[in-house]
Structure 1
Amino acid sequence: MKLFKTLLAASALTLAAPAVMAAPAASADYAVGPQYDTTHVYVPADQFDAFVTSFSATFGGTTSKQGEFQVTPTPSLTKSQLILTPAGTLSVFGFKTPIPTPFGDERTGYLVTDLDAAVADARKHGATRLITSFPDPIGRDVVVQWPGGVNMQLYWHTAKPNYTPLASVPENRIYLTPDAADAFVKSWTGYAHGKITADDRNAPGDEVGQPGKTIRRIAIESGYGKMLVIVSDGQLPWPYGRDMAGYNVSDLNATLAKATAAGAETLVTAHAGADRQSAIVRFPGGYIAEIHQAADKKAKSK
């Protein structure tokens, strides 16, 4: 009888106290830092030097030693060089052979602390591998695609690099339609531990050459740097949508003058936007970039 009462009391206590469920562990953040994240620029091999010289003259900084490598898992050969500027880092490729798929369509390369774990986490958050991971001359790489067809490279270095922090972090400019925007943002912020810093659903379309229309502008920040997701009907006039990165500078006019002197062409002249004064330029070799001066900087210069 005593044993029955003891068991009954224990049973009542169990019923009275709700089970404590362990909180799911947060996924790790595999980002290393924006200075290690590169915009991938593919230019014709015969215009490689002209591009590197022009971009470097515009933004300053240094370059790595130029070399020729096989950077794909299948036979190929490309000129390759890093441009390390205070406003962002570029990986420049000038293929001397045809470019094997899926290379040439990835917009960025993001350094991660653990490639296999980062890939597994990216897949968990909706990314698809376009190619499985493979070794390159200095580490390992993979190319993934996020909802909306946004292609990125994730990479890991055998020897840990050490780059100077950026003076200003560039933005990865991603153009999507409403069909894919929310899915992409959910996937990317989940993987990157990204924070939405602004979401304007009624921004003026003038910013992308669509006067009289409205667009959505979603600003995201993470350990991988900045991102601006521009959501529109996709009916964009040239050259909007071709600008993969936006570079923040302290003096837009001075930077545009340097770009022009270095052989770049201004495709969209400086104009006011929601939070900036910006222009779009094309460098030798065809690389198109947005360059902007933040609104607060602009106000101070008056």
Structure 2
Amino acid sequence: MTRTQAFFLSLALAVTPATFASTRDVSVGPQYDTTHVYVSAGDMDAFVRSFTATFEGQPTTPVAVTVTPTPSKTLSQVVRTPSGAISVFGFQTPVPYPFGLERTGYLVTNVDDAVKAANAAGAATLVAPFDDPIGRDAVVSFPGGVNTQLYWHTAKSTSAPLEHVPENRIYLPVQSADAFVKAFVAFAHGKVVSDDRKASAVEIGRSGGTYRRIRIVSGFGKATVLVTDGHLDWPYGTELTGYEVGDLDATLRRARDSGATVVVAAHAEGDRRAAMVRFPGGYVAEIHGAAN
């Protein structure tokens, strides 16, 4: 780590002790985090089949439920894989605002405590806590407009630890990146593990140049903040999650065979190889593995 990186790391961590002292860690574990994927009801089966095959996962049986505090109806299905889980929603009614704008769902020990901790760290309550068929939920918005669902289940959830912890990929402008990092690290009782202001812009689809990349770890798993000017070629910025796998080439073969499209071919990114895949229904995922 360079002196500059060490300075910014200490700066990011220096803002958190007071908040840490006033809130408790409400995380349960990254195996309970789910990326929220909204697809049309007609695309749901094809998407779930493709995603499940690609990551060698296991889907639950789809159920028709109301997952919002106001009247609505959606097909809901969870897919758990060794590389992370997703919650899939195929709404059969219009989607009430602001649902569909949240990135992830984090299981917490107590929803009310989690919302208070998020507020104390600088997040706003976007959807106040409400009951759902199997627990309670809320949605908070961190600086930069990063919306996150917090949830708790009446019956205790039990899932095995992940083989590969995915990363929440968050694209932000320079004006809000530091505020987000300060708030999220404080809420999650996390830490900044790297802050590279000269990361290769190959990672965001450019042929040259640099950008700022911040990596965070916490009880909720991994988060990567990509600080850009927004001049991004598709699909960069549309992916919500980066999935780590043991064999990238084999994973991409399964993706193609199951109906997904590799929209950015596998390429080197420092200590990893990465690619981008578009699944049936439009969901885009970054997939990466160790460099050869």
- TM-score > 0.5 by shorter chain: yes
Aligned mate of 1:125, from 111, 121, 124: 121
2:192 maps to what in 1?
A: 196
1:136 is matched with which residue: 128, 132, 137? 132
Q: 2:207 aligns with which of 186, 211, 231?
A: 211
1:240-266: CA deviations, max 9, x gaps? 000100000111111000000000011
Instruction: Give deviations 1:149-174, integer Å, cap 9, x for gaps.
Output: 10100011111110111110000000
Residue from 239, 242, 251 that aligns with 2:238: 242
Tell me which of the two structures has the higher relative contact order, counting C-alpha pairs closer than 8 angstroms and 6 or more residues apart: 2
Unpaired segments of 5 or more residues in structure 2? 1-19
Deviation for aligned residue 1:130? 1.1
TM-score (norm 1): 0.89
Cα distance in 1, alignment partners of residues 244 and 259 from structure 2? 20
Residue 281 of structure 1 corresponds to which residue in structure 2?
277
2:226 and 2:271 map into 1 onto residues whose CA distance is 14
CA contact (8 A) 1:34 1:223 kept: yes
Q: For 1:97-246, what aligned pairs fall within 5 Å after superposition?
A: 97-246=93-242
Q: Secondary structure at the match of 1:135?
A: strand
Partner residue, 2:286: 290
Q: Which portions of structure 1, spanning 4 or more consecutive aligned residues, are displaced by more than 4 angstroms?
A: none
Give the total of aligned pairs. 273
1:210, 1:263 → 2: CA distance?
27
Percent of aligned pairs with the same residue?
59
Q: Which of 259, 263, 267 pairs up with 2:263? A: 267
- Residue matched to 2:71: 75
Q: CA RMSD for the aligned pairs?
A: 1.0
Work out the CA distance in 2 between the residues paired with 1:260 and 1:165: 27
Q: 1:113 to 1:194 in 2, by over 3 A?
A: same
The answer for unaligned runs of 5 or more in structure 1 is: 1-23
**2:127 partner letter:** I
Structure 2 letter corresponding to 1:182: D
Aligned mates of 1:100, 1:60 — CA distance in 2: 32
Which residue of 2 is the match for residue 47 of structure 1? 43
